[in-house]
Amino acid sequence: MPQWECAIEGDSNVYDSVEHLIIHQATEHERIECKVCGAVLPDGYFAIRHAFDEHSRAEYVRAYDATSDEVRRREKIKEAVEETADLKAVVKRLENNGSV
């Protein structure tokens, strides 16, 4: 079973499930402001998903001064999470204040 590391601002917490990681990121870290549109959202997976679902790659690169390697890395993270996570369960838990 793969382990999932948080990696937000040096946070090296590791989780056995991607769902627990996403809940951790959404509840234990400060929310961030999207540099493209100003939306405030949880850091980590939700921020990556927002960036690539709501904005073009070019907008992201300009706003974050990102390299193509950084973009590809985040796209791979998004893809891996979405292939693995039960996102409906995550949303349900977050609606219940993050409790399991």
Query: pLDDT tens digits, residue range 1-27?
Result: 579 999 999 899 999 999 999 999 999
Is residue 99 predicted with pLDDT exceeding 70? no
Mean pLDDT of all residues in the chain? 93
Domain boundaries along the sequence of the chain: 4-95
Residue 50 CB partners (closer than 8 Å, separation 6+)? 34, 39, 41
Could you tell me what percentage of the chain is helix, strand and coil, using 3-state DSSP and rounding each to the nearest 5?
Answer: 60, 10, 30
pLDDT the model gives residue 1 = 59
pLDDT of res. 2: 76
